[in-house]
Amino acid sequence: MRLTVVGCSGSFPGPDSAASCYLVEADGFRVLLDLGNGALGSLQRHLDLADLDAVLVSHLHPDHCIDLLALYVARTYDPRRRYDRLPVVVPTGGAEHLARAYGRGERPGLSASFDFAEWTAGSRQVGPLTVTAARMAHPIETWGMRVEHDGAVLAYSADTGPCDALVELARGADVALFESAFETGRDDQAPPDLHLNAREAAQAAADAGVRRLVLTHLPPWNDPAVARRDAASAFDGPVEVATAGSTYDL
Crossing angle between the packed helical segments 68-77 and 94-102, to the nearest 10 degrees: 70
Least confident interval from 16-30, 81-95, 176-190, 224-238: 176-190
- Note the pLDDT of residue 106: 57
* pLDDT, mean of residues 166-181: 98
Q: Which of 209, 243, 241 is nearest to 228 (CA)?
A: 241
* pLDDT, mean of residues 43-48: 97
- Pair 101, 71: CB distance under 8 Å: no
* pLDDT, mean of residues 46-61: 98
Whole-angstrom Cα distance, residue 4 to residue 54?
Answer: 15
For the whole model, what pTM was predicted? 0.97
Which pLDDT band holds residue 105 (cuts at 50, 70, 90)? Answer: low
Q: What is the pLDDT of residues 12-31, one digit of tens each?
A: 999 999 999 999 999 999 99
What is the DSSP pairing of strand 2-7 with strand 21-26? antiparallel
Helices in the chain by DSSP H: which ranges? 39-43, 62-65, 68-77, 94-102, 164-169, 198-208, 224-232
Q: Where are the domains of the chain?
A: 2-242
- Note the pLDDT of residue 186: 80
Neighbours of 159 (CB within 10 A): 26
Whole-angstrom Cα distance, residue 30 to residue 39?
Answer: 15
pLDDT at 107 over 60: no
Average pLDDT over the chain, rounded to an integer: 96
Which pLDDT band holds residue 96 (cuts at 50, 70, 90)? Answer: very high
Q: What is the pLDDT of residues 213-244, one digit of tens each?
A: 999 999 999 999 999 999 999 999 999 999 99
Q: Which of 160, 117, 154 is nearest to 135 (CA)?
A: 160
Amino acid at 42: S
* pLDDT, mean of residues 1-19: 98
pLDDT at 173 over 60: yes
* pLDDT, mean of residues 55-72: 98
Whole-angstrom Cα distance, residue 183 to residue 195?
Answer: 10
Q: Given 3.40.190.10, 2.40.50.140, 3.60.15.10, 3.40.50.10540, which CATH number is that of 2-242?
A: 3.60.15.10
Whole-angstrom Cα distance, residue 2 to residue 175?
Answer: 11
Whole-angstrom Cα distance, residue 92 to residue 72?
Answer: 19
Neighbours of 92 (CB within 10 A): 13
- Note the pLDDT of residue 74: 96
Q: Which of 167, 120, 118, 127 is nearest to 147 (CA)?
A: 127
Whole-angstrom Cα distance, residue 153 to residue 95?
Answer: 29
Q: What percent of the chain has pLDDT over 90?
A: 93
- Note the pLDDT of residue 184: 83
pLDDT at 209 over 60: yes
The sign of the CA dihedral 214, 241, 24, 4 is negative
* pLDDT, mean of residues 116-142: 98
Q: Given phi > 0 = left and psi -120 to 50 = alpha, else beta, which region is 199? A: alpha
